[in-house]
Amino acid sequence: MKHRLQHKLEHISLQELKDAIIKGGIPLLIIVIGWEIIEDIIFPIVFWWLGNKIHPAFYSVIPVSWLLCLHWLIVPILWGLWMKISKK
């Protein structure tokens, strides 16, 4: 768990953010930060809400959403969609 937390914090380190700007500009930076917000804040809130409204088993998924790291998959997909939409 400690390793996963360190891994997540590496993605919002100053050097990682600078690298994102150099590689893809501000749009890539927004995608990286946006996905981290979704993954670390929005998903746990949704699972908490589902635990309250549907079934308490959803509470068990909250820590999983903090340990699971999907940016390696989602960021390239979102970047590809952005490149297609912006026609660059």
Long-range Cβ contacts of 29-33 (<8 Å, 24+ apart): 31/75, 31/78, 31/79, 31/82, 32/71, 32/75
CA dist., res. 74 & res. 83, Å (int)? 14
**pLDDT computed for residue 78 by the predictor:** 92
Instruction: Record the pTM.
Output: 0.70
pLDDT digits (tens, 9 = 90+) for 8-41: 666 667 777 777 778 778 888 888 889 888 988 9
